[in-house]
Chains A and B, each alone.
Chain A
Amino acid sequence: MRLLVVEDDPIIADHIVSGLIDIGHSATLARTGSEAIRAMADQAHDAMILDRMLPDIDGMSVISHMRSRGDSTPVLMLSALGSVKNRIEGLQGGADDYLAKPFDVDELAARLIAIARRGAARTEQTSLEVGRLQLHPSSHSVAYREASAALNRKQYSLLAYFMCNADRLVTRAMLIENVWSYSFSPSTNIIESNMSRLRTALQEIGCDPIETQRGAGYILRAERCA
């Protein structure tokens, strides 16, 4: 993806740009709000990583300027201001996602892919079928070939989220925000315990396509559902 990174702190900017380039993206750096506006006018980008506090124009004003010009490039707002109120302000101001500092580059990349694809797939119909793995909303059950298993509400929601994001990294924070809708981070292994139950159910029907990415999150591999 072609990404625009707007960050004034040189160490954090270098950390983000090099991290994104390492995982195969192309990243351009803007150090101020006005540089970001010029960069967006010069060239189209797949997504923008925008620091909220910038030396000249703040991040909220950059989004407001972009949106007023009809620019719908997905924006991930990055900020040291991480309270629920700050997040709500950022999202209501036009950001597509909000990540508080300090952060992990894998987390940043996973969220960027999610918001970039969400924008492209807005008109697509969400499918609950990946290969031969099927999820039935009415019975909260999962089926693979001839076998099927019942899931509880959490296991169902977890699998649905993975199937909607097949072949993409899904981080713990993304699961907490999207499956549980929590704005806090539980200190126990809520994710691991629930994932373990889900994967046991999937193994029972002969198809566990979920792969653990150590320290980063999980990926549901579509090829394993064939």
Chain B
Amino acid sequence: MRLTWRIFRGPARLDRLAIQLGLAFAIAMVTVGMVGFSLADNWVSSRIDTSLRYHTAKYLSEAGHGPGEDARLQAKILEWQHRKVLSERTYVLFDRTSKRIAGRLDITPPPPGFSDLRFTGGGHNYQIGRGLATRLPSGSLFVVVQHSEAAMSLHALLPIVVLIISLAALILGLSATLLFAHLTAKRLSETQNTAAAIAAGDLSRRIPTDRLDGMFAVQAESLNRMLDHMEELVRAQQLFSSNLAHDLRTPLTRLRSLLEKASREGQSTFPSLMERADRECASIISIFDALLRLAEIETGRHPTAMSAVSLRPLIEDIADTMEPVISDHGGTLRVRRLDDVSITGDPDLINQLLINLLENVATHTPPGTSATLSLEHDGGSAVIVVRDDGPGLAVGDFARVTQPFERGSAVSSGGGSGLGLAIANAIARFHRGSLDLTDATPGLVVQVRIPANDSAHHSDAAEQSAL
């Protein structure tokens, strides 16, 4: 009772839903009943009309054509009346002046063809029959009338049948809907409890599936998967915020210290302190720029920037740019095999991806570390490989370092924004590709795989000379 009350008071307004469904069910059933009745009525009428047509033709043929036809028909009707006392069928003959000359039924002459006739069966109540009137060549009118008890009963039953069907359908529809609503509410109550618990902050709650079956179980499992993903995202967001706060705290603290120092010390040290403060500001701004960039890439950036990108000239250009940087770090940058591969992508993002990878070599490896760049067409993908001969990363760090603000355990916290590999990884994923780290012992191999535009390529493994 309490559950039923809850159903009626529930947010889904199951009471109104039950009435609506019950009514819809009743209307459907009444419609079905009326269609059935109409078909039966048509069938009976059609059988009566066929019978009338048959008996008219039979009488007229037996009476024969030509002079004396009326008299022969009259005699045949009289003879039939003597023979049949009770029959559903009656024959009447009117002369050309519409005077009844044979047949016992007291009716007014109907028009030629089929018609419904009203007559009294000797009492006061009118009855309805079906008649077929045929005009004879002499001008007389021969009428065959058939009164069907079955058709009359069918018509009489119609209102009662419709009423009973409607009431039964309404009661059945309401009962079925209420039962369905009750069962649905029972199954959904666990989901509602879980949703309420999650809204209250308990992200670990899941919908119990052991008492569910069918579509409810499938839906609960699907919602649980969504909740798993949401929990993961919220945890990642919390970690991201905490890492961001940590990363910003350091340059902000340094900035504050510099400003305090500037206020304490004399004018002589002011320019150098200002310059250092400016560098701290630049470091903070660069973190925000990188974050903005990461968000931009992860939210789909601007689709108009996508075009066919020929990777070989792009990589040659990056090699030209980065060779002096690696060289200033004491190492060398060599370009190895470069296949002609084209992808659909954003050239600016691909540039950033490769610059980030090579900047990691220049900033996160010991002086003297060298690197190589290569591009291959492999199984429908463009594969760009950046390999260095530095100390590499611990294998356990491979997955972690592609997350924002996560650095390799050997890297000091002061090096870079902590977003370089996260941005490179986001760029690879943006291009429906992947970024994988492997151990090169010694050194690190970063392999970027992006779907190539076509298979047309020249695998002329061109060993490029040192820059």
A residues contacting B by CB (< 8 A) are 82-85, 88, 102, 152-154, 180-190, 193-194, 196-197, 215
Q: With both chains docked as a complex, state the minimum distance between the C-beta of B54 and any C-beta of chain A, in angstroms.
A: 87
A154–B321 Cα distance when bound, in Å, is 7
Q: With both chains docked as a complex, state the minimum distance between the C-beta of B299 and any C-beta of chain A, in angstroms.
A: 10
| A190–B321 CB distance below 8 A | yes
> Which A residues lie within 8 Å of B348 (CB)?
84, 181-184
User: Which of B278, B296, B324 has the most C-beta atoms of chain A within 10 angstroms of its own C-beta?
Assistant: B324
Q: Which of B122-130, B149-157, B244-252, B284-292 contacts A (4 or more CB under 8 A)?
A: B284-292
B residues contacting A by CB (< 8 A) are 275, 278, 281, 285-286, 289, 292-293, 296, 301-302, 304-305, 317, 320-322, 324-325, 327-328, 348, 351-352, 355, 359, 362-363, 416-417, 420
| A83–B324 CB distance below 8 A | no
A148–B352 Cα distance when bound, in Å, is 34
| A187–B352 CB distance below 8 A | no
Knowing A82-B292, A83-B296 are in contact, say whether A187-B416 is a contact too (CB < 8 A).
Answer: yes
- Can you give 25 A-B contacts (C-beta < 8 A)? A82-B292, A83-B292, A83-B296, A84-B301, A84-B302, A85-B296, A88-B304, A102-B281, A102-B285, A153-B320, A154-B317, A154-B321, A180-B321, A180-B351, A182-B348, A182-B355, A184-B348, A185-B286, A185-B289, A187-B286, A189-B328, A190-B355, A193-B324, A193-B325, A215-B275
Query: Given B286, B325, B420, which contacts A190 in the complex, CB threshold below 8 Å?
Result: B325
The number of A-B residue pairs with CB atoms under 8 Å apart is 67
Q: SS class of chain B's interface: helix, strand, loop or mixed?
A: helix
> Which B residues lie within 8 Å of A187 (CB)?
286, 359, 363, 416-417, 420
5 closest residue pairs by CB, A with B: A193-B324, A154-B320, A193-B325, A188-B359, A184-B352
Query: Given A85, A183, A196, which contacts B324 in the complex, CB threshold below 8 Å?
Result: A196
A185–B324 Cα distance when bound, in Å, is 17
A88–B301 Cα distance when bound, in Å, is 12
Knowing A83-B292, A85-B302 are in contact, say whether A188-B321 is a contact too (CB < 8 A).
Answer: no
Query: Given A83, A85, A152, A186, which contacts B355 in the complex, CB threshold below 8 Å?
Result: A186
A124–B388 Cα distance when bound, in Å, is 48
A214–B351 Cα distance when bound, in Å, is 28
Since A153-B320, A190-B325 are in contact, a sample of 16 more A-B pairs with Cβ atoms closer than 8 Å, ordered by chain A residue number, is A82-B289, A82-B292, A83-B292, A154-B320, A182-B352, A182-B355, A184-B355, A185-B289, A187-B359, A187-B417, A188-B359, A189-B328, A193-B325, A193-B328, A196-B324, A215-B275
Residue on B with the closest CB to A200? B324
Q: With both chains docked as a complex, state the minimum distance between the C-beta of A176 and any C-beta of chain B, in angstroms.
A: 11
Knowing A102-B285, A187-B286, A188-B359 are in contact, say whether A194-B296 is a contact too (CB < 8 A).
Answer: no
> Which A residues lie within 8 Å of B362 (CB)?
188
| A85–B301 CB distance below 8 A | yes
| A190–B296 CB distance below 8 A | no
A88–B304 Cα distance when bound, in Å, is 10
A5–B170 Cα distance when bound, in Å, is 76
User: Which of A84, A182, A188, A194 has the most C-beta atoms of chain B within 10 angstroms of its own C-beta?
Assistant: A188
| B320–A152 CB distance below 8 A | yes
A185–B417 Cα distance when bound, in Å, is 12
| A215–B278 CB distance below 8 A | yes
> Which B residues lie within 8 Å of A153 (CB)?
317, 320
Residue on A with the closest CB to B275? A215
> Which B residues lie within 8 Å of A88 (CB)?
302, 304
Q: With both chains docked as a complex, state the minimum distance between the C-beta of B381 and any C-beta of chain A, in angstroms.
A: 25
A188–B324 Cα distance when bound, in Å, is 11
> Which B residues lie within 8 Å of A184 (CB)?
289, 293, 348, 352, 355
Q: With both chains docked as a complex, state the minimum distance between the C-beta of B332 and any C-beta of chain A, in angstroms.
A: 13
Q: With both chains docked as a complex, state the minimum distance between the C-beta of B14 and any C-beta of chain A, in angstroms.
A: 47
A186–B355 Cα distance when bound, in Å, is 7
> Which A residues lie within 8 Å of B301 (CB)?
84-85
A101–B296 Cα distance when bound, in Å, is 17
Residue on B with the closest CB to A194? B324
Residue on B with the closest CB to A82? B292
> Which B residues lie within 8 Å of A186 (CB)?
355, 359
| B351–A182 CB distance below 8 A | yes
A125–B197 Cα distance when bound, in Å, is 72
A189–B324 Cα distance when bound, in Å, is 9
A189–B296 Cα distance when bound, in Å, is 24
Residue on A with the closest CB to B293? A184
